[in-house]
Amino acid sequence: MAIDFKTLQIGKYAQVTSANTGTLQARKGANGAITLYWRWRHAGKDGRVEIGLYDGLIPPMKASPTNGRYNVLAATLRANELADQHLESLRIGAGGYAAVQLETQTKRLAEIAQKEIDSKNRIEALEERNAWTLSKLMAMYCEHLASKGKGAAKDAANIFANHVAAPYPAISLKPARELLLDDVVDMMRRLNELKKERTANKLRSYLRAAFSLALRAKTDASVNRLFTRFGITTNPVSATVPNSAANRTDKNPLSIDEMQTYWQILKKLDGAKGAALRLHLLTGGQRPAQLVRLTRKDISTDSIVLWDGKGKRQAPRKHEIPILPESQKELDYFLSLSPANPTNLDPYVLTTNYGKTAISNTTITTWASKIVGDNISKFNLKRVRSGVETLLSKRKVGLEIRGELQSHGLGGVQKRSYDGHDFLDEKRSALTLLLATLEETTAKVVKIGHRRA
């Protein structure tokens, strides 16, 4: 099939065959299809550019391609565009269409390279976004608490695992910065419906603190730089409301009679259970989570040191407690179970595996409840701590001494910055009075409510 170009209007450049403008040409392939080209010649070199396939069924005066195919007019107009580019390149001394082709190819390769870079950046951004999940934020927050000696680290980890990751895996694995207020409220509502109001408040507190830490990392150099990677700009927990009823202090201390009953039960108890619970009581009802972290290096001749990381302290507070002869017996029992050795120079004291790990505070709490059973109504270990303070208060031990003994109510600039008195004598007298009351002795009661001069 031949195309008679002379009988058609094919454009000013396509009809010219000079070396500068080129010409429109057609070539018939082996399969009978005709391909249209724009052919040019410059500086002794030939070149051609494929325009597209010819289609004789397209109306001759249609000036644009149809489905990628051309009539002669549409091909001519395209050839004119190429010829214009060729002439413009010659005008600026760039070498004609060969230079245009090179520039086009270079741009195309650059575009392909840029698309690959953009695609890689999008993939990396997506991976980065998906890496800094709520689960990771919670884990890093727990590590932060542990590094500060905060006993809440394990509690926070357990709450996150049991009440976020397990019931809400999709929320746990999404980017932390995408956590919604509704998500947090749903988590808290679930716990309230399970009658775990206190746990709901603790979950709220831990989540809020984790997001606050990530926000603070932008301006506080003491916070791990990695917290900035979460890209958190707001705290979705701040607007939630805690259950105020669940935060009320439990004002149900053991009475003196109940304290004496508890002590008589403990005196008959052998092994690690008896030693741990008697030590807990005879040191003034210390927080179990702090007591179980006692190590050999924290023991001196007549006292032990616990590290109180409770609250907003940046570093744990040194809390020294005198040891009575009766308490020393319990310590000696555990010290025989955790001998110092070259592989474990600072073993835990309250242990059943040679100091490798400490007995958990949950274990001690469970021991106490099972041992007491029905002997004391509604017993739990928290009531022992408040029972100690109530007993000492009734025996006229001053508020300041009781606070020093149980490491609470010690805020204020004066206490933090100026008062260096260790209160060891006063605390020892308070513990002696506690034991005397538990034993119902006729020992002389010493007033220790006021500080000695």
Q: At 39, which CATH number?
A: 3.30.160
Count of domains forming the chain: 3
Instruction: Determine, yes or no, domain membership for 385.
Output: yes
Position 277 confidence tier, pLDDT thresholds 50, 70, 90:
very high
pLDDT (0 to 100) of residue 11 = 39
pLDDT (0 to 100) of residue 192 = 93
| pTM passes above 0.75 | no
Instruction: Determine, yes or no, domain membership for 451.
Output: no
Query: Does residue 183 sit in the same domain as residue 312?
Result: no
Q: What is the pLDDT of residues 406-452, one digit of tens each?
A: 987 555 444 544 444 778 999 999 999 999 999 984 444 444 444 43
Check if the beta carbon of residue 434 is closer than 8 Å to that of residue 391.
yes
pLDDT (0 to 100) of residue 442 = 41
pLDDT at 346 over 50: yes
Instruction: Determine, yes or no, domain membership for 331.
Output: yes
Query: Does residue 241 sit in the same domain as residue 311?
Result: no
Find the DSSP H helices in 132-242.
134-147, 152-160, 169-172, 181-193, 197-216
pLDDT (0 to 100) of residue 345 = 65
What does the pLDDT average to over 368-383? Answer: 93
pLDDT (0 to 100) of residue 257 = 93
Percent of the chain with pLDDT over 90: 51
Residues sharing a CB contact under 8 Å with residue 395, sequence separation 6 or more, in sequence order? 433, 437, 445
Q: What is the pLDDT of residues 36-74, one digit of tens each?
A: 988 877 777 778 889 999 998 999 899 999 999 999 889
pLDDT (0 to 100) of residue 45 = 77
Query: Does residue 145 sit in the same domain as residue 223?
Result: yes
Instruction: Determine, yes or no, domain membership for 448.
Output: no
pLDDT (0 to 100) of residue 105 = 85
Instruction: Determine, yes or no, domain membership for 152.
Output: yes
Query: Does residue 292 sit in the same domain as residue 433?
Result: yes
Instruction: Determine, yes or no, domain membership for 106.
Output: no
Backbone CA torsion sign across 112, 117, 122, 127: positive
Query: Does residue 303 sit in the same domain as residue 231?
Result: no
Lowest mean pLDDT among 126-130, 143-147, 203-207, 208-212: 126-130
pLDDT at 116 over 80: yes
Query: Does residue 300 sit in the same domain as residue 433?
Result: yes
- What does the chain come to in residues? 453
Position 100 confidence tier, pLDDT thresholds 50, 70, 90:
confident
pLDDT (0 to 100) of residue 14 = 41
pLDDT at 80 over 90: no
Q: What is the mean pLDDT of the chain?
A: 83
Query: Does residue 294 sit in the same domain as residue 151?
Result: no
Query: Does residue 186 sit in the same domain as residue 167?
Result: yes
pLDDT: which is higher, 235 or 407: 235
Query: Does residue 239 sit in the same domain as residue 274?
Result: no
Instruction: Determine, yes or no, domain membership for 453.
Output: no
Taking the CB of residue 279, how many other CB atoms lie within 10 A of it? Answer: 26
What does the pLDDT average to over 343-352? Answer: 78
pLDDT at 316 over 80: no
Q: How far apart are CA 344 and CA 156, in angstroms?
A: 28
pLDDT at 86 over 60: yes
Query: Does residue 352 sit in the same domain as residue 425?
Result: yes
Check if the beta carbon of residue 441 is closer than 8 Å to that of residue 416.
no
Q: What is the domain range of residue 24?
A: 5-101
By DSSP bridging, strand 69-70 and strand 45-54 are: parallel
From 73, 68, 64, select the one nearest 3 (Cα to Cα). 73
Query: Does residue 360 sit in the same domain as residue 289?
Result: yes
pLDDT (0 to 100) of residue 365 = 93
User: Domain ends where: 247, 280, 298?
Assistant: 247
pLDDT (0 to 100) of residue 436 = 94
pLDDT (0 to 100) of residue 311 = 61
User: Domain ends where: 247, 282, 304?
Assistant: 247
What does the pLDDT average to over 111-131? Answer: 76
Query: Does residue 215 sit in the same domain as residue 324?
Result: no
pLDDT (0 to 100) of residue 96 = 80
Q: What is the pLDDT of residues 278-287, one digit of tens each?
A: 999 999 999 9
pLDDT at 372 over 50: yes
- Domain CATH number, residue 317: 1.10.443.10
Position 244 confidence tier, pLDDT thresholds 50, 70, 90:
confident
User: Domain ends where: 186, 216, 247?
Assistant: 247
Instruction: Determine, yes or no, domain membership for 175.
Output: yes
pLDDT (0 to 100) of residue 342 = 54
Percent of the chain with pLDDT over 70: 84
